[in-house]
Amino acid sequence: MPDERPAGVPHDHAPFGPRLLAAMSQHGPLCVGVDPHPQLLSQWGLPDSVEGVARFCDGVLEAMGGRVAAVKPQSAFFERHGSGGVAVLERLLADLRSVGTLSVLDIKRGDIGSTMGAYAQAYLEEGAPLAADAITVTPYLGTGALAPAVTLAKANGRGLFVLVLTSNPEAASVQHAGDPSVAAAVAADVAELNAGGDPVGDIGMVVGATVGEAPARLGIDLAGANGIVLAPGVGAQGATAHDLAITFAGLEQRVLVPVSRGILSAGPTPERLRATSEALSAELTSKLWS
């Protein structure tokens, strides 16, 4: 009998990269960001409180669960409400697992030694309360410092998205520096971690959708890294589906596109959220996969 387990639920620790690629093939390249900004909560008629965030997440789950490749909660907007907000995040991650939708927890953790190991246990250990299918991590203490997270992610069928080339202006002084650039060196490290991954490795990269031709200019071999690219910046930050097609030419079917406000501002009704996400997903698919 074929395995009917949802794509978001690990089976015998199946590798994350192929699971995400399969989810993208089924649902398209859209990843819905869950960023409960005060402004969004207000637009939904909700209070800026733990209760408001919980109702917000319930609305997103009702509208999007099982309909998109992945959902990306931004941990900071839960943490600002203290332990109650973190409890809402914990429940959201569990609910996403229950409906078979992959979770990418945006936490940008990065540290050394036992501290990095503790972060890995918090978010990547099987059965951990805050376990996600993947997390974002920063390599700027050295990519090697991420080893505890890499090891645990691969052991448990989970993944990482390593910050490689971000679009904020402050990043250039670090990420663009050197020859080859620091960003190119990080991408080369990701390629080593993904060696042998088939059809794709478990360690993805974060590359901003607004960076234009910077990957080519800085010598970053995105395709050679053998990982899925998480490309934030579409919508509120100004990038378009057309920009994605140019920046990620040759890698189009390995680009996961997170969008938050561009979708969630259509809420709170599930029908409007679905219609907005479906239209955007169709546009992204047309530009990237045609």
Q: What is the mean pLDDT of residues 263-278?
A: 96
How large is the average pLDDT for residues 27-41?
97
- pLDDT value for 235: 77
Question: Could you tell me the residue ranges of all domains in the chain?
Answer: 16-275
Q: What is the mean pLDDT of the chain?
A: 93
Kindly tell me if the per-residue pLDDT of 3 is higher than 60.
Answer: no
CB atoms within 10 A of CB 258: 28
Check whether 9 has a pLDDT greater than 60.
no
How confident is the model at residue 12, as a pLDDT? 53
Give the total residue count for the chain. Answer: 290
pLDDT tens for each residue of 40-51: 999 999 999 999
Q: What is the pLDDT of residue 174?
A: 96
Q: State residue 161's pLDDT score.
A: 98
Q: For the chain, give the percent of residues with pLDDT over 70.
A: 96
Residue (of 111, 121, 104, 208) closest to 161 by Cα position? 104
CA dist 151 and 155 (Å) reads 6
> Residue 54 has which token pair?
């919980």
pLDDT for 119 equals 98
- Concerning whether 72 is annotated as a catalytic residue, the answer is no
103 DSSP β-pair partners: 71
- Is there a contact between 47 and 276 (Cβ–Cβ < 8 Å)? no
Q: What is the pLDDT of residue 60?
A: 98
Which CATH number, 3.20.20.70, 3.40.50.150, 3.90.800.10, 3.40.605.10, labels domain 16-275?
A: 3.20.20.70
Q: Tell me what the mean pLDDT of segment 205-225 comes to.
A: 95
pTM over 0.85: yes
Q: Are 101 and 66 in contact (CB under 8 A)?
A: yes
d(CA 183, CA 225): 12
Active-site residue, selected from the candidate residues 72, 108, 154, 287: 108
Cα distance between residue 175 and residue 266, in whole Å: 35
Q: What are the pLDDT digits (tens) for 76-104?
A: 999 999 999 999 999 999 999 999 999 99
Helix H, strand E, coil C: the string for the chain is: CCCCCCCCCCCCCCCHHHHHHHHHHHHCCEEEEECCCHHHHHHCCCCCCHHHHHHHHHHHHHHHCCCCCEEEEECHHHHCCHHHHHHHHHHHHHHHHHHCCEEEEEEEECCCHHHHHHHHHHHHCCCCCCCCCEEEECCCCCHHHHHHHHHHHHHCCCEEEEEEECCCHHHHHHHCCCCCCHHHHHHHHHHHHCCCCCCCCCEEEEECCCCCCHHHHCCCCCHHHCCCEECCCECCCCECHHHHHHHCCCCHHHEEEEECHHHHCCCCCHHHHHHHHHHHHHHHHHHHHC
Quote the pLDDT of residue 239: 87
CA max distance for the chain? 54
Using alpha carbons, list the distances in angstroms from residue 240 to 155, 161, 167, 206, 235: 36, 22, 14, 17, 7
Residue that the structure tokens 């390629």 belong to: 191
Residue 164: what pLDDT? 98
User: Each residue of 158-200: pLDDT tens digit?
Assistant: 999 999 999 899 999 999 999 999 999 999 999 999 999 999 9
pLDDT at 184: 97
